[in-house]
Amino acid sequence: MRYLAWLIALPLFAHAVGEGAWQASSIGITLNNRGVSASSAPLASSQPVNGLMTLVAWRYELNGPTPAGLVVRLCSQTRCVELDGQNGTTTGFTGVPAIEPLRFVWEVPGGGRLIPALQVQSNQVIVNYRQPANNG
């Protein structure tokens, strides 16, 4: 049901002329140890896009408890934004080319095994972008 609401919201992000949006999702990762980072598969548009990111919505689901100290970042090729929850929006990628893929990066500081392991069920993004003005 939550996934359906997520997909219904997609057109709401791209409503103005000159704006567009793309959505991507992937299965998650399993992180077994503290002090190491794990990255999701790249999340990218299925079609070529021309424009700059404006607003990015994210969502991820965990199987099991959230480990204390969990740090989750969403990263493009040129910058990362630390996420403050399992879903939300950010303007932290404003100006980044919308063609750039995004990745979730997971880390639990410290050392030793995570018991239980961090299990990420899914990662999802909606990227809203503005197309360049046609000055012709």
pLDDT of residue 18: 81
pLDDT of residue 118: 94
| CB contact set of 122 (below 8 Å; sequence gap of 6+) | 25, 26, 27, 28, 59, 60, 61
Q: Which CATH architecture has domain 2-12+19-130?
A: Sandwich (2.60)
Pair 128, 13: CB distance under 8 Å? yes
DSSP 112-134: SEEEEEEEEEEEEEEEEEEPPP-
DSSP-assigned beta bridge partners for residue 62:
120
- CA 52/CA 128 separation, integer angstroms: 8
> Which residue bears the tokens 């970042």?
73
61: nearest Cα among 127, 124, 125, 126 = 124
Q: How far apart are the first and last CA of the chain?
A: 45
What string of pLDDT tens digits covers the 136 residues of the chain? 454 444 445 445 444 558 999 999 999 999 999 999 999 999 999 999 999 999 999 999 999 899 999 999 999 999 999 999 999 999 999 999 999 999 999 999 999 999 999 999 999 999 999 997 765 4
DSSP 25-54: EEE--EEEETT-EEEPPPB--SS---SEEE
Q: Where are the domains of the chain?
A: 2-12+19-130
Pair 7, 104: CB distance under 8 Å? no
pLDDT of residue 135: 53
Quote the pTM value.
0.84
